[in-house]
Amino acid sequence: MTNWLGHIVAILVITVWGTTFVSSKVLLNQGISPDEIFLSRFMIAYISLFIFSHRKLFSNSVKDEFIMAGLGITGGSLYFLSENHALVYDTSSNVSIIVGSCPLLTMLLVGCIRHEMRPTGKQIIGAIIAFAGMTLVILNGQLVLHLNPLGDTLAILAALTWAVYSLLMTYVNGRYTTDFITRKVFFYGILTILPFVFASEQHTISTSSLFHPIILGNIIFLGLVASTMCYVAWNWTLNTIGTFSATNYIFFQSSITLVVAFVSLDEPITVMAVIGLLILIVGMFITLRA
């Protein structure tokens, strides 16, 4: 029962994360910088989680505390910085496809370092099929990709950082509570993003603009729902159904984004995207069965 619940929670988390681009786009259109969006949502997430989880402040060892810091960097500041800045220099399609490869990178990285967790041949084949389907969904009828060395490099960095995040989670999951780990992710994410925020020339969040209903509503959604609830749920899912099974659900994020864009932005869905979704489902089925 718990195993099935883990899969359901993973789908719910990916569904929410697939819709966050709408909130982020609204805030960007309001003149809020990507660094400030990240800082605001993680600060809200940290404070809200600290209220309910504040008895244990530090890890059991210095080594574990360094792992927690690594989680905050790879699952927080560095991931968001590299992904958001990749979008500045590259097309959204390129970035989505490259970042969407993180389940495959996770399999390779975890398999190479944690030999007892090596993926099976069927898991790898299923992930490759799912990646191919996800690529068709993202392309959505547009077969031309425009390569950009800087943007592509940043996108690869984003995918690698999330793979490292998944790897680091295997060392602490089960030894610490999910809320403690997640709170540490938010803390070190905030701590390591601050130098970039202070170094940035764009500071647009003022007290008056912060309490604007549109800005405040979207920041609260990103902070409480997409960060606090989803990160806690995701980290629990990694421990419940395993790193590979959970991470592979990231392939579906592009499909969720496509549907949301169709409903809210009237962006078309092509036959290629539908075929890609079907291929993606087949790949996921093979992986989960393995």
Q: How far apart are CA 223 and CA 73, in angstroms?
A: 17
pLDDT of residue 179: 92
For 84-122, give one letter per residue: b (16+ CB within 10 A) or e.
bbbbebbbebbbbbbbbbbbbbbbebbbeeeeeeebeee
**Quick one: pLDDT at residue 166?**
92
Quote the pTM value. 0.84
Interatomic CA distance for residues 282 and 127, integer angstroms: 10
CB atoms within 10 A of CB 286: 18
pLDDT value, residue 290: 63
Per-residue pLDDT of the chain (290 residues; tens, 9 = 90+): 568 899 999 999 998 987 787 777 788 778 888 888 888 899 999 999 999 888 898 999 999 999 999 999 999 999 988 988 887 787 666 777 788 788 888 888 888 888 777 888 888 888 888 888 877 877 766 655 566 788 888 988 998 999 999 999 999 988 999 999 999 999 999 999 998 888 876 655 555 566 678 888 999 999 999 999 999 999 999 989 888 888 888 878 777 777 777 777 666 777 887 888 888 888 877 877 76
Predicted pLDDT of residue 266: 67
Domain definitions of the chain by residue range: 2-289
Give the pLDDT of residue 272. Answer: 82
